[in-house]
Structure 1
Amino acid sequence: MTKSTPPCIKMKIFILVSFLIFTYANSQQSHLYNQEHEILLKIKNHFQNPSFLSHWTISNTSLHCSWPEIHCTKNSVTSLLMMNKDITQTLPPFLCELKNLTHIDFQYNYIPNEFPTSLYNCSMLEYLDLSQNFFVGNIPNDIDRLASLQFLSLGANNFSGDIPMSIGKLKNLKSLQIYQCLVNGTIADEIGDLVNLETLLLFSNHMLPRTKLPSSFTKLKNLRKFHMYDSNLFGEIPETIGEMMSLEDLDLSGNFLSGKIPNGLFSLKNLSIVYLYQNNLSGEIPDVVEAFELTSVDLSMNNLTGKIPDDFGKLEKLNVLSLFENQLSGEVPERIGHFSALTDFIVFQNNLSGNLPQDFGRYSKLETFQISSNSFNGRLPENLCYHGRLVGLMVFDNNLSGELPKSLGSCSSLQYLRVENNEFSGNIPNGLWTSTNLSQLMLSENKFTGELPERLSQNLSTLAISYNRFSGRIPNGVSSWKNVVKFNASNNFFNGSIPLELTSLPRLETLLLDQNQLTGQIPSDITSWKSLVTLNLSHNQLSGEIPDAICRLRSLSMLDLSENQISGRIPPQLAPMRLTNLNLSSNYLTGRIPSDLESLVYDRSFLGNSGLCADTLVLNLTLCNSGTRSRRSDSSMSKAMIIILVIVASLTVFLAVFLSISFYKKRKQLMRRTWKLTSFQRLSFTKSNIVTSLSDNNIIGSGGFGSVYRVAVEDLGYVAVKKIRGSSKKLDQKLVDSFLAEVEILSNIRHSNIVKLMCCISSDDSLLLVYEYHENQSLDRWLHKKSKIPVVSGTVHHNILDWPKRLHIAIGAAQGLCYMHNDCSPPIVHRDVKTSNILLDSKFNAKVADFGLARILIKPEELATMSAVAGTFGYIAPEYAQTIRVNEKIDVYSFGVVLLELTTGKEANHGDEFSSLAEWAWRHIQIGTDIEELLDDDAMEPSNVEEMCSIFKLGVMCTSTLPASRPSMKEVVKILRNCKDPLANVEKIVDIYDAAPLLKNLKWEKQVEYSV
């Protein structure tokens, strides 16, 4: 165009050009839209046309930008959202053909294979979430090619190896999440270079080797949320953590951190959450607190000392203060009782004392108040339930006194009330018995008075009122207590007869009415007690006969009717019940003891019944008459028979004299030896009591070391004696070393799940270890049907060991080993963990035993070496067999085998001549066998299949070939406890699990199955 071109022509040309440009742009946009539509349908086809994408069709009438899985910007796909869709295929390699993708989210699926490097082609990608899947292998070293990333989450996968240095080059990252993986290498210090990072989640990486918290992390000045709990951290928290000025949420719990809490931590102005529980932190809590935004503080399960700082009284926004299981002392700052936001105050198991602030609850909506196992005195605050929100009140094991606050009678929110072992008195507040939501009411060991009400809360499952001063009759209204599982009213002043209505409670498992003033007969119609396990009516004035209906209580395991006025015969059907504990002593019973009850197991069950007799001398009772025999006339007895009888009698007398002389000589020889007794606690027996009782009749077990004897002693009933024997007059040095190792270890450790060594006795050629006696002997005798000798419950039957008992045993044994590894200084490695070295008492509490091979580690962080491998085939960790290296992880391996035995019922050497149970289990995991098919039918019920599968998987993880891939015993205990031990003290579990979440979403089904 020239200057001479008319304006109207210019306008027409401009309009034409604009139209052509618009048409071209529209054409390009339409082309891009159609291209993206084809790619999306291609993605659908890659995922094999799943039903959740049925609306993804080829029809042009369906705009893909309106599909819920798609977000568009300017009519182009920028976000692909496929969360929780049960996808089992790999990611499409052509995904990045969607050129404008900035946001990809595939969390909560089942996507396998290694990290998809095809995503590097998404040049505009800012947000990538692949968490909660089945990815394996290493996180790529060149992951920094995703240079635009602002959000990266790879959590809850099976990534292993290192967290690579290249992540530190993703300078735009604001959120990095690599949690619950199998990373077992190093953590890149370069993460500290991510200056824009606001969220860092590295928690529950159980396979990480022991590592210190990288000091470079404290350079993250913009970091607001930092979670690295349960990740094997040790050492001290860097002092420079006080320089992380933006930090709001810090969780380093469940590690092995030690030393003091840095002074600068509570000076962070924006800090709102601090979780440092379950570490080894020591010293006092910093007394200068300026983090006035704090809403939650959990420093529980450490070794903290000193007082609760007065400055904590300034934290007026505090919701949760959890300091339980420390060594804190002094009084609770008065000002804490004035907090308006406080919902949970948890300080149990400390050394706190003094009066409680009386304003607790008046200003705040308290939900949990747990101060158990301290030395508090005075009265409970009156207004704990002032706002009607209180759920749990746990104040047992203190010196509190006075009456319970009357306001508790109108506290309808209350679910758990435990006040045992205090000095409380008076009547129970009106309304508390029938409080709507109350499920556990535990008042034992106080001075309460009054009578039981006709009605209780419909939700009440546990009523424990023993060792108080309650009186009157057990009300007829007890029939309305339909949900009561445990009723413990021992040692009170109840009188009258046992009401028939009490026998109508269908869920009752434990009934303890001993040491009262009950009269009359035991009700005969008790068929509703189908769930009853424990019945104790001893030390009353009951009369009449033992009802036959007791013999039809199939769940009954413990029966105590001693110290009453019961008469008549012992029902013969009582014998087949094979009760774990039976006591009928000190009554007026008559007749013959059923033959199946004539066992040493019941040798104290029938004493004090002058009318009873037995056919043998086992029970120390009068021998019964032989009964009416077929009469024969004296004249019909042949002379030959008389001669035979005379000969037999003579031989018997001769043999008796010979045995007596031999016994006398043997006893005299034993006593001539010089015996030395070393005791580790007060004893009710002497060394002669033990030495003279080591006869073959008392042998209950044997091994390579020698024999184990059961010896009767006064007060204790029995003790177990392990005799170390040699091949000659002089003991083998290895046996002596084993003896000394066991004495050294057991004499210095105390734990309820470790066998108690009472004393040792030694001479020149004999070594004796005297332990507490465990009625149910060793786990292998129950689990693998190895024992034919009667134990407390009679001849062992495999199906008696149901899953609740197995889980209870597993938790107990794990706690014993955890104590050895983490609470002993220096740590102790058992080296021979197996089912035969786990003993069981009458309540199936597990006791770790046999420390002859145990090894005390010089330093926790160092590996000790042994000159030779010791242990049992099937339980020996592979690295121990190959390198003779010793650390705690060899015990973890062996315990994993025990877990596999408990869940499958198979023995540790199950497999062929070249494999073991652990290898067998790993092989089945590799080929994808349904775990339910591997479980022990004798223990499996529909209600516990999922639990058994989880524990089986835990056993598999514990038996991982690489030691670093195994969890610690502390982690094992946490996982087992999360199953909530069915035989343990339920109330104690409530204490721990209401106080702090010790497990945080462990995802077994997606972590373990691909860890091979």
Structure 2
Amino acid sequence: MCPKVLTFLLVASFQIYTETYGDDFTVMSILKDAWVNTPRNWVGADPCEGKWEGISCKKSRVTSITLAAVGLMGELSGDISSLSELEVLDLSYNTRLNGTLPPSIVNLKKLKRLKLAGCSFSGPIPELIGSLQLLEILELNSNRFTGSIPHSIGNLSKLVVLDLFNNLLDGSIPVSSGNTSGLDMLVNALHFHLGRNRFSGAIPNELFRSDMTLIHVLLHDNNLTGSIPSTLGLVHTLQAVRFEGNSLTGPVPSNLNNLINVTTLILSNNKFTGPVPNLTGMAYLSYLDLSNNSFDASDFPLSFSNLRALTTLMLENTGLEGRIPPTLFDLPSLQTLILRNNQLNGTLDVATSSSSQLKVIDMRNNLISFYPESPERRNNLDVILVGNPVCAHPEATENYCAVPQANSSYTRLPEKCVPLHCISDQISSPNCKCSYPYRGVLVFKPPFLESRNSAYYVHLEEESLMRSFKFHQLPVDSVEVNFPAKDSFGYLESNLSMFPSGQDHFNTATISDIGFVLTLQTYENSDIFGPTYFKGSPYPYFDGKPTVSKELSSTVRIIGAAAGGASFLLLLLLAGVCAYRQKKRRESASEQKNHFAYLDLKNSDSVPQLKGARCFSFDEITKCTNNFSEVNHIGSGGYGMVYRGMLPTGQLIAIKRRRQGSVQGGLEFNSEIEVLSRVHHKNVVNLVGFCFERGEQMLIYEFVRNGSLMDSLSGLSGIWLDWRRRLKVALGAARGLAYLHELVNPRIIHRDVKSANILLDESLNAKVADFGLSKPMDNSELILATTQVKGTMGYIDPEYQKTLLLTEKSDVYGFGVVLLELVSGRKPLERGKYLVAEVSSLLDRKKDLYSLHELLDPSIGLDTKPKGLDRIVDLAMKCVQEKGSDRPTMGEVVKEIENILHLAGLNPSAESESTSASFEEASQDEFPPSLKEEEFSLS
């Protein structure tokens, strides 16, 4: 064996030497010569050893070029196709980088991310771009690409983001036909950003499928005709739908009401007819714009008063008549109401409104005859009634019969620090730290054009951006949004400055991440200014070395050659060491009688300590999943894809297959195996085994048929949880956590308790799952110091976040949030508002909280207060106390829930058979056909 190893290493050493110096280094030299404004430390011949800014390497091969917003000028050379190991190419926001995209780019077979946003590329997108089979992100927005979308993009089975926004693309939207692929094949894609192009024809009915995972479908500002395909209503994962600015006709499909997760729906500036759509099923709808369509004249729809999450409602020129229902002004989150150019009449009465969020009511050119002005609302609410009969009355005032002037002199809140006098180009941030900010322009689709409250919205946008940066763990210290001004298209443009945290400048990787987050984030937080997009500016402040003279280049080449020769000799020595270690490993493997002697997990110092979990071969897993067939694909998450399989014994299993580039790595893989292989409890998911052959990292669990608690509460799983079942689920999850905290040795902190990690089996028994972030508790030291806060926003213990000290009480906090989800059916964090804070505010405002139906999830379907509701809410609020010492233990939580179950007339000590019997006896009406095994998720 050793002679073969030696031969291989000798050949490989020559190959590495010639390929890296002859290809990668030469290509990088060509790119450097073709571009102007390359980073200052691009000196010498070796970009890997020289640690060129923006260049990442593995084994002297260039794997990543990340040069967003560095001010590059020139064209992209076709020689880049010789970088055969390249995985990431990000040249975004280099506005003077132009020319065509070289067709040879399709030879980069290992490319995963192609990001060229905000450049000046032109010409067609290469027809064979679909041959980049590993591509996950294709971001070509804000260029000048022409031609049609290549059909071959449909072959990109791993694609998550397709962003072609703001180009000059035309033709129809491609779908598959015969042997030709289309966008309908992209079932793993989350984002279709195709707005601001020149696409024409109808939106194909075949474009949307029920097995898609899309969250954004953005087709606005094109030349599309025909109707909205009814198949859009099959994509239940959607969160943002934008079709405005086309020539779409016909009625709005009624099954759009099934899209319960949609937060942004914009259908304005089309030619829709028929009735104004009923959208009461969209429980999370925040931003709705139906303006400038030809809907049938009708009274103001009462259904809009049921959209409890609504922040912005725009119904300009939609043929509405009659009076506005007073209940509309009781929507708790409503901020902006635009109803211009309709036939609405009667009295506009907002004086009794319970909403404190309302800032703008624009009803120009209607038939409002009376407005009882409220003095206490005058300073924080803009009411615009210009063009209404009420403004003809002698007692009318300019407070509502004139258009308020926007407050362009935005005054910030008083600083808590003294601004510094900074050197050079540095600027004092809002937190009074001198640094070099990254700047760009946010372009907004405005929900209003004139308002004294514009400064309020600027402040909200700054807060929203900071939340997003913190959530993505980007080193941004503070942001500053300048007051927006209108551009030639009627959009608002605002200069955005982002200041670095921890040092006085950003690096290339962070600039790239900021641009990517803004590209997606601005669509998701559309309840502030409206849907937006970002245009980045060059950032000339990267930390680099002074330019080195050309004479040094030849010296570096000589050093590189010498280093290559030394590496060759070193390989000979390593070959002998390798042979010896391989022999010892085989001997160790024979002694242990398992495969862990060969385990090589990144970031892991030791192999897992196993108790009962089985090591599967890759071939075994391939066979039981039918070669990871699409029909067995049942979900996905941060770790990777989830597949269903069946062992030869007939046991159903769920396989979590780690995605390449997953945020979770070997350490989490190791941790979850170790934890689950030694815990055995009916309320903890059972680990069947694992597989790590052929570069794979797979975890094999028992198959938990009914998905996650989050799926049930959101309606995705089709399972209805009444009050008694919710109490049973709460008890089961609490028992599982109490077992981890009190009975396992060493005890375990889960660290990511949330509704998505509580699974429901066929009997609706709760099982705690996903232990990738778990930490063991040493009996002698219950508090563990950590260097990084991990978990899920909305569930993270604020004390842990503040002190970086992790205890079992952090799990108690997360469980308290889950209890509030069970009661209210609401998400822990939506539209920037935390569920814990909302319930706390409700407690402060109401003396008798427990009789409030606004807190209770309406899907529970009870007219009277459920038994034990007050005690469950009280328990939840104890669990989410600010200080961990004020929270109960999970053992105490279990006892309290058992007492509550007694109160509700249930036996908490009953075995799962009782739950199973109850479940089986339920009527078909309670469990609709949408209950499917395919909707299982383990993420």
TM range (shorter): 0.3 to 0.5
Higher relative contact order (CA 8 A, sep 6+): 2
TM-score, structure 1 as length reference: 0.37
Bigger Rg, which one:
1
TM-score normalised by the chain length of structure 2: 0.40
